[in-house]
A and B are shown apart, each in its own frame.
Chain A
Amino acid sequence: MSLSRVDQILSTVMDGHRGGATLPETLCELCAQALTVSGVGLALITADGHQGVVTATDGAAQTMEDLQFTLGEGPCLDASSDGSPVLQPDVARTAPSRWPGYGPAVLEAGIAAVFAFPLQVGAIRLGVLDLYRDTPGNLDDRELSEALAFADAATAILLHLQEQTDAGDDVHPQLADPLGTHTEIHQATGIIAVQAAVGLAEALLLLRGHAYAAESTSLDIARDVVGRRLHFYPEDDHHE
């Protein structure tokens, strides 16, 4: 694959959101169009718990998200804590026993299938992307692959929104970097977390921020960190 599907999605979202919609809103709309689902919602959930609903494409999706926030149970919360997608193609059959409060409530809202994808990079938990259908049915292989690509794109966007760059909404040049399969990036994240005495999420942002400032790539910086040629310090962006 030359340009990955995730890169394509991010590029489309970046181009499309200048109409005043936020990046998450644009991503969710695009996702709802790309898949045969009725609606999409995005929630922020970290190790500290549910931080709020970011956006939802329609009333039912909003209900799906709000219920989980208020009831403290549901597929997106499970997806986040288990680190695993929660795919429920037939909510009527499975949800009421698994989620006694959420299950019946969400059925009443007209939701028949829910697919929750955790937005995470290893131990770094950012949020969950929820898709729903008003009729039961599973995601076929192609749609699952597409949904996973949207989840990756959503992860990249959430990381981007956390960054304190002056670039504002401009595309961070290596937006999809941390989702790469490069081992060194993840190891470097752990090393930086200890060196700078910060959590993993912040460590990842420090790594990316340093790469951006140095006009380098996250992978090259990561290699320097793992090779002990570059050291980070507490309360400091970077140190050479």
Chain B
Amino acid sequence: MTREQQLSRVFVELADTMVAEYDVLDLLHTLADSTVELLHVDAAGIILSDQRGHLQVIASTTHQARLMELFTLQNSEGPCLDCFNTGQRVVNVDPAEAKSRWPRFKAESAEVGYQSTHAIPLRLRDRVIGAMNLFCIENSILTDDDIALGQGLADIATIGLLQERVVRQQELLAEQLQTALNTRILIEQAKGVLSERAGMDVDEAFATMRTYSRQMRLRLSSVAGGVIDGSLTADDLLKG
């Protein structure tokens, strides 16, 4: 598939997730996956402000525990924190500068296997609601095209997440963000339940639920809820 074909497919997917009963978490996972594919980075995570002064990862292309810790660490230092606080992209920071700006983050991400990290803001006008964190195994540079594309994907996802009218109504924004954050926990709980019931690991459990939700055009959160209350069995999910 050419890059253009890939790109078309991604935009169609993103658009799909925004119609009618769209699924915020699915949108964010699609964003993360698409970014890895199109920008040739090795991992990506979406971080949202929880409105209590913390940044929380809400979607990630890998569930490697140590990578997850890198997200948590960025509440203290790191490209995501700088990106979130300034609303500006933090990309192509040279290794020496990275080391002096974020000594602990640079050391820990290298230990996990990532030599370079970039952060792109999720912002709409004057509101920054989070950031997209990109990880590369090699010391890599994002080209201007990569950066533009990455920001474009982030902007579309932010619009999908916020919806214009919502930004003007602070209450709806809070309601949506808090729901997304709680849904993420619900999905983790469901991953645990399904992994134990079906004898698979948690990543497989997630992939199974996600595939099922897309095939049946259900929200990921509904599928997770069904797994938790028992109305969806492992057999249902694997057959579907």
Which A residues are closer than 8 A to B by beta carbons?
A: 1, 4-6, 82-89, 118, 120-124, 138, 141, 144-145, 148-149, 152, 181, 183-184, 186-195, 200, 226
Contact = CB atoms under 8 A, between A and B. Distances in A.
A160 to B, nearest CB: 19
B52 A190 contact: no
A122 B189 contact: yes
Contact of A5 (B52, B72, B176): B52
Contacts of A5: 52-53
A200 B182 contact: no
B120 to A, nearest CB: 21
B189 A190 contact: yes
A191 B193 contact: yes
A186 B192 contact: yes
6 contacts: A4-B54, A85-B178, A118-B182, A145-B52, A193-B193, A194-B197
Given A123-B229, A187-B195, 8 more contacts: A83-B179, A87-B171, A122-B185, A138-B170, A141-B170, A149-B52, A190-B196, A226-B192
A200 B68 contact: no
Given A120-B182, A123-B186, A184-B65, A84 B175 contact: yes
A149 B52 CA distance: 7
Category for how many chain B residues contact A: 35 or more
A216 to B, nearest CB: 17
Interface string B191-232: 111111100001000000000000000000000110011000
Contacts of B178: 84-85, 148
Nearest to A120: B182
A121 B51 CA distance: 17
B219 to A, nearest CB: 12
Which 10 residue pairs of A and B lie closest in terms of their CB atoms, listed nearest first? A190-B192, A122-B185, A186-B188, A87-B171, A190-B193, A187-B192, A122-B186, A194-B196, A84-B179, A191-B192
B190 interface: yes
Interface of B: 50-54, 56-57, 63, 65, 68, 72, 75, 170-171, 174-176, 178-179, 182-183, 185-197, 202, 224-225, 228-229
Nearest to A140: B170
A121 B185 contact: yes
B137 to A, nearest CB: 22
Contacts of B193: 190-191, 193-194
Contacts of A85: 174-175, 178
Most buried by B among A5, A88, A190: A190
B185 A145 contact: no
B228 A123 contact: yes
Nearest to B183: A83
Contact of B195 (A1, A88, A190): A190
A37 to B, nearest CB: 15
B185 A1 contact: no
A70 to B, nearest CB: 26
A190 B191 contact: yes
Nearest to A200: B189
